Amino acid sequence: MAAKKPSLKLAAEGGKALPGPCVPDTPTEAPDLARLPDVAGHQTGVEVAPSPPPLPGVLGGDALDRMLHAGLARMTAGISPAALGLAYTDWWMHLAGAPGKQAQLMQEAWSEMVRLALSAARTASGQACEPCIQPEHGDKRFQDEAWCQPPFDMIAQGFLLTQKWWQQATTGVRGVSKHHEAVVSFATRQLLDVFSPSNYVPTNPLLLRETLEQGGANLYQGWLNALEDMERRLTGRGPAGTENFRPGKELAVTPGRVVYRNELIELIQYSPQSGQVHPEPVLIVPAWIMKYYILDLSPENSLIRFLVSQGHTVFAISWKNPGAEDRDLDMDDYRRLGVMAALDAVGAIVPDHKVHAAGYCLGGTLLSIAAAAMARDKDDRLKTVTLLAAQTDFTEAGELMLFIDESQLTYLEDIMWSQGYLDTTQMAGAFQLLRSNDLIWSRLIHDYYLGRRSNQTDLMAWNADATRMPYRMHSEYLRRLFLNNDLAEGRFEVEGRPVALTDIRQPIFAVGTAKDHVAPWRSVYKIVLLTDTEVTFLLTSGGHNAGIVTPPGHPRRIYQTARLRDHEGYIDPDRWRESAPVHKGSWWPEWQAWLAKNSGAPVDPPQMGKAEAGYPALEAAPGRYVLQP
């Protein structure tokens, strides 16, 4: 990058640098500017400045545009009106020129209206009648028997038929780009969900019955719940109940010590719980979009505790929660100050042994980049690589791709440019839209109409403890990986040279989750295509988070696993799923057995930290960074 990154003033402690006040080398009134490389290595038009320019009287055109976009984005929940308008224009113009499609839609509308009217007439006359339409798989809004009683049965069926008609209208129009079709279909579905009869008391038999039985007390309690939630948001407090799940108290309590700290990470070494341990340590690289303790929740749900109990020496990165002063941290900073700095520390504390490296979500993507760069540079410190719900090819990254195009990214970059980072609430909105029925409307009904509070769990509390994303890093991540797919296509550069995943020779253990909306498992499976090494792929039930947090004894989990060797030929994901054996229970023991198989004979545990090498045990886990608001 051409820009000079702001340095951080560091105070020495234990021979290593500790973060002090973050002060840019240059004043914010005269920031350096940098441009992000495009896929060809040329300079793009995305300027990255340490802070917005001052307002002397007349703003530059680009700065004025960015400030306007940032202001508008706060009113549109970060959705670009231009991107949405282009998608709907593409759809409408092609539909307007398709009289055959129009006739088909009119015929379908008339047919469904007649069916619904006849069904209503039969029901009114007391005749048994099969529903005109069944909800889609996974739609739980109309499951209760109360929805089978008139008039609510006709209300629900009318809504579902309308939803089906609009799905047909927004898809299958010849000439519309696939991306625009997906955007239009998604946006229309979100708009229709607003008017679902399940969302309103008069048209929801369950809400109506509850309100009549309680004399409206449920609505009063729901109003109090809404006021409390508003007050918590305004004061920066977490959702109700999260105060019972605190890192270092109820969560992230696996014993350990912080053995290294720089301006971006703390490295935690966990205390051994067995007389001897496998000689190769495990380094965990979590995603920095959330706090690291997703893998160290309550003791019974802690993957880290499980690994330690099985005789592994475990190290885990805890990322700093960045602020506006960290706006110029980029992807290579996360690789260099994160993965590589942690590997240096692990190598000093446990010398002469290779490392089992495991990355989760974004952390897995970063680990794959680091592993490819290490392979290119003949750095053989890794023993194995594990990728947990982590993508390396982003062409089929699920419905998140709806928010990834040039217009949308420019809009998002202008929000980050104005404040230095992407805020937690701005990220949460996109993820909630992907599962709006589960994460938005069901909560509205449960907490505000029924007046009840959901029982918080450790996973729910962690989910509410989000982090910010630095401007430069997140812009690079979205453009170079999601938009341009540089890593999978051999254009992603590390230290001025491209890296290739085919260079990785260590065995890979890749985990996908069947209901993942963030990293769809078929996308995760593409690591099989992108590498020339042995890959053990495991597919577990559950979603992006709950599927990973699956401790032994979980009553409803199943998983499939099979090893794929490069010389045996390619097996597509669907054929793999049909042929791989199904096992009941947690996938954790399967992974642990794989790690043990790729490890040496047990040895005495290493010491906690290594002061003589410059890595003293600084303080007890979970450290400082995880507690940053």
* Residues 6 or more apart whose Cβ sits within 8 Å of residue 82: 407, 411
CB 199 within 8 A of CB 191: no
Task: Give CA angle at 518 (513, 520), nearest 5°.
Answer: 45
Listed in sequence order, the DSSP H helices in 171-215 are 178-194, 205-214
CB 429 within 8 A of CB 77: yes
SS3 content of the chain, % helix, strand, coil (to 5): 45, 15, 40
Of 547, 6, 17, nearest to 294 (Cα)?
547
CB 415 within 8 A of CB 324: no
Element (H, E) at 373: helix 362-376
What Cα–Cα distance (Å) separates residue 583 from each residue in 306, 470, 491, 508, 540?
A: 19, 41, 39, 20, 9
Structure tokens given for 557: 């989990």
Grouping H, G, I as helix, E, B as strand and the rest as coil, residue 94 is helix
Grouping H, G, I as helix, E, B as strand and the rest as coil, residue 566 is helix
Label residue 258 exposed, middle or buried (CB < 10 Å: 0-12, 13-18, 19+). Answer: buried
Point out which residues pair with 384 in neighbouring strands.
Answer: 356
Catalytic residue, candidates 22, 129, 148, 361: 361
* Residues 6 or more apart whose Cβ sits within 8 Å of residue 561: 536, 537, 538, 539, 580, 581, 583, 587, 590
CA distance 326 to 343: 23
Of 225, 209, 197, 234, nearest to 446 (Cα)?
225
Return the C-alpha torsion angle 438, 444, 448, 452, nearest 10.
0
Rg, Å, the chain Cα set:
26
Label residue 201 exposed, middle or buried (CB < 10 Å: 0-12, 13-18, 19+). Answer: middle
Residue whose pair of structure tokens reads 């509070």 in the numeric block = 453
Residue whose pair of structure tokens reads 């409206």 in the numeric block = 216
Of 294, 272, 276, nearest to 284 (Cα)?
294
CA distance 342 to 377: 18
CA distance 456 to 242: 7
Element (H, E) at 513: strand 508-513
Point out which residues pair with 421 in neighbouring strands.
Answer: 470
Tell me if residue 132 is catalytic: no
CB 530 within 8 A of CB 504: no
* Residues 6 or more apart whose Cβ sits within 8 Å of residue 292: 252, 284, 286, 316, 317, 318, 319, 622, 626
CA distance 330 to 470: 8
Please state the three-class secondary structure of 46-66 as a single string: EEECCCCCCCCCCCCHHHHHH
Which amino acids are annotated catalytic?
Answer: 361
